[in-house]
Amino acid sequence: MTKVKKFEHIVTSHGEPGPGDGGRTGSWRVLRPVIDLDRCIPAKRNKMACFTCWLFCPDGVITRTIPPQINLEYCKGCGICAAECPAKAILMIEESHFITEEE
């Protein structure tokens, strides 16, 4: 009978995503995520519910607050948050729309 050794510590490589990991990428974003707070589940219910956008954001730029907010300075505009939102509360809008508004 062979004995199996138990390891007390398993060494792994693990990192947490966070704003700034890829640099300030908001300047080259083509699509901007905009949250419709009338459809957003946590904002509507005023409860810590859902936050699927926060969970799936690969850059960690969405806050887990009520209402959720997106740090556009670091958001790449990948659209994963909009695709995963069960309430379809996040719309991806072309950046050119915001440039003409600001002028």
Q: Residue 52 maps to which CATH number? A: 3.30.70.20
Quick one: tokens of 55?
Answer: 């969970």
Residue 48 domain flag: yes
User: Does some domain include residue 84?
Assistant: yes
Q: How far apart (Å, rounded) are the C-alpha atoms in residues 103 and 88?
A: 29
Number of domains in the chain: 1
- Which pair of tokens denotes residue 48? 């810590």
Average pLDDT over residues 9-36: 71
* Rounded Cα gap, residues 26 and 11, in angstroms: 35
**Residue 15: inside a domain, yes or no?**
no
Query: In this predicted structure, what is the pLDDT of residue 66?
Result: 94
Question: Which of 58, 64, 63, 54 shows the shortest CA–CA distance to 77?
Answer: 58
Q: What is the per-residue pLDDT across 40-73, written as a single tens digit (0 to 9) for each?
A: 999 999 988 899 999 999 989 999 999 999 999 9
Is residue 10's pLDDT more than 90? no
Q: Would 77 be classed as within a structural domain?
A: yes
